[in-house]
Structure 1
């Protein structure tokens, strides 16, 4: 039980960092992409990955949808040439290990 709580806490922190990065108006698309890359490759993602790999779990669907919605909002608000939302989706797929199962969760 404690391990699950720690995973959720770590995932929540990572999710907040990713959303803050996506929403940052002072960063260019390129800077956002670099930060998203570094966040996804840092120490927390092993826990994030394990949650993403649990296909059809409510938590995984929520994480995926929240990131996608926030990234789409950033694309619309800042009209970036290089879309952040597709970059975020690519990262989710890359770190989940199961692209086809995740794509089903993307019909928002």
Structure 2
């Protein structure tokens, strides 16, 4: 292959712009989900255990609420991690498209 353009340009396809738009749409959806989770998270904050006696059922209920709080927090963390990973991928796709556009301008004959 006699093509001397950078490898990143070779990876750009006609579908890259569409994939970038789809990734940005998913990013917006993740942002909305993260916002919604953050509005509900305070309702699940742990309260200190009562100093008085609790029945076994109340203790079990409290443990399950603590589990729910933990799972909710893990879910929020996963959403944040997914959003961060998608940000990295979107930035790479934008760089690839920019590099492809620049290479195309350099390679195209002038007026």
Normalising to structure 1: TM-score of the pair? 0.36
Bigger relative contact order (CA 8 A; separation at least 6): 2
Normalising to structure 2: TM-score of the pair? 0.35
